[in-house]
Amino acid sequence: MLYYLAGYLFTVIAAFTVIALVMRHLADEDIGSLAGLSKRSPMLATTMTISMVSLAGIPPLAGFFGKFLLFKAVIEAGANNSAYYWLAGVAIVGVIISLYYYFGVIRAIYWSKEAPDLSPIQLSGAAKFSLAVCVAGIFWLGVFPNTVLNLALAAAPGAK
């Protein structure tokens, strides 16, 4: 669970930072506001895409390994109680449904024809730095999960 939280820390902060930066320039607050973001700010578009792909659980990003560990724990618990297999099934259905929504955001960023505003979004150095740290964290936790996983296991000595 600690690994999952660490992975989602970077992912969610990156996604909400992009949304906050985009919404600061627009009056509308729906997914359509991200239309044309790839033309307005390639860095914001790339960051949001990486965040959505990680949330969807696609390798090699942090979200994949986090979901993998959770599914592994649920399946192992299913050996003692078959209700956990139902829980795993419901979770898999949830992941499949979430894929549709996460990739809907990506579709709006790159392929929407109804962009409300195509003026460039200027980013401060601090915003660029924080987004870069989040993206690096998403990749680091996905490619080298043992660094945080070992810390999580040390923090919870009874866990396996």
R_g over Cα of the chain = 18
pTM here?
0.89
**C-alpha to C-alpha distance for 114 and 59, rounded to whole angstroms:** 31
**C-alpha to C-alpha distance for 146 and 19, rounded to whole angstroms:** 30
Which among 61, 72, 96 has a CA at the least distance from the CA of 1?
72
Place of tokens 């506001």: 33
Each residue's pLDDT expressed in tens, for the chain with a length of 160 residues: 788 888 899 999 999 999 999 988 776 667 778 888 999 999 999 999 999 999 999 999 999 998 998 899 899 999 999 999 999 999 999 999 999 999 999 999 999 877 767 788 999 999 999 999 999 999 999 999 998 888 888 887 766 5
